[in-house]
Amino acid sequence: MDYRIIEGNDQITTEEAARLLKATYWANKRSLEQIGKSMRNSVCYGIRLSGEEKLIGFARVISDFATTYYLCDVIIDPEYQHRGLGKALVAHIVARPEYEGLRGFLMTRDAHGLYAQYGFVPVQGRAMERAPGQ
């Protein structure tokens, strides 16, 4: 399967990202407006099938580019999962020079094994969350 990794907010439409995010447990209730706003305030990455131009992978990074970055919304189209595409996308992102020397964060309920391959480790007792409306 031939594919290419793309980067830049002008390379992925909100509708394309929404199609993938609607298949997730964490983002399936986000509105198109929320997805668009999140994309505009992040650096977006994707995977396109060569020839078809179909978006089959998506991720975004939020960063101050000085101390930390937050990797989020990593998703591969369910039809193309278990083919190494998630690994390729994460490897591409963490190798970017703009994130070198920065502390990376992410949240996951079920993909610890994937992210551990790229140096992410669980942080017990150090993370906190403030939910909307609190």
pLDDT in tens, 73-119: 999 999 999 999 999 999 999 999 999 999 999 999 889 989 999 99
Q: What is the pLDDT of residue 50?
A: 86
Residue 34 CA: distances (Å) to CA of 29, 31, 40, 52, 110:
10, 5, 10, 27, 24
Task: Tell me, rounded to whole angstroms, the distance of Cα 54 from its chain centroid.
Answer: 17
Class of domain 3-117: alpha beta
- How far, in Å, CA of 82 to CA of 22, rounded? 19
Token readout for 121 is 């480790």
Compute the average pLDDT of residues 29-55. 95
- How far, in Å, CA of 72 to CA of 54, rounded? 21
Give the confidence band of 44 by pLDDT, cuts at 50, 70, 90: very high
Q: What is the pLDDT of residue 119?
A: 93
